[in-house]
Amino acid sequence: MKSRYIPFTQQPYCCVPACIQMVLYKNDLPLKSQEEIGNALGLRVRPESAHLFENVSTQEPKTGIWGTQIGNQRYEINDAFKNLGIPLAVTIQHIKDIKSADELEKMLYEVEQTGGDALVCYKYGVLWNTDSNSGHVSVFDRIIDGKIRLVDPEQQVPKLRLNDAGRLYEAMVEHKAAAVPGVWIFSSK
């Protein structure tokens, strides 16, 4: 089944900006660079990756989490969109407010049925069965035969990836960092 999105691949630490680019592209909105989006969202990269960017912060995040700092009120996503001239708003459904995998699946089904857009924030290693302890964001694409398909911006992995709602729910619950695990639902302003 055809994806609702054209997959984009992220720069290091830029899963959130790459996912936002996919949503912008799908909705025929002007693109911003991953670095520009990232910087508006408090992007922090390790010094050894700074050469891949034009102007990025290498200051160690207080949370210890490299990448965007969405959980910090200073980098609230709707404020960043306003500052960047992106005519979208995001409502974050934190995982603590989603009571079950069934509720998660129903929420995502509604997003798909309305032609909407959503990102999911989770612990990477739990969802994809790797040693990674990092948080990650992917674009929700659609539900196929009871499986949730995500568009994963990570480098050197398949762009369209299937998993079940129970596993995604568990990966969200396990992502206890200062980020905002759950479902980020987009709407027009």
Question: What digits encode the pLDDT tens for the residues 84-116?
Answer: 999 999 999 999 999 999 999 999 999 999 999
* Residue 174 in tokens: 């396990």
Predicted pLDDT of residue 160: 98
Predicted pLDDT of residue 180: 85
pTM score, whole prediction: 0.96
Domain that holds residue 26: 15-188
- Collect the ranges in the chain with pLDDT lower than 70: 177-179
Predicted pLDDT of residue 61: 82
Predicted pLDDT of residue 72: 87
Q: How far apart are CA 145 and CA 188, in angstroms?
A: 29
**In a domain? residue 9:** no
CA 18, 47, 53 angle in degrees (round to 5)? 40
**In a domain? residue 83:** yes
Q: Say if residues 20 and 5 touch (Cβ distance below 8 Å).
A: no
**In a domain? residue 1:** no
* Residue 56 in tokens: 């990025």
b/e code 71-90 from CB counts within 10 Å (16+ = b)? bbeebbbeebbeebebebeb
Number of domain units in the chain: 1
Give the CATH number for residue 82: 3.90.70.10
**In a domain? residue 78:** yes
Q: How far apart are CA 105 and CA 148, in angstroms?
A: 8
**In a domain? residue 4:** no
Predicted pLDDT of residue 189: 78
**In a domain? residue 165:** yes
Q: How far apart are CA 131 and CA 126, in angstroms?
A: 8
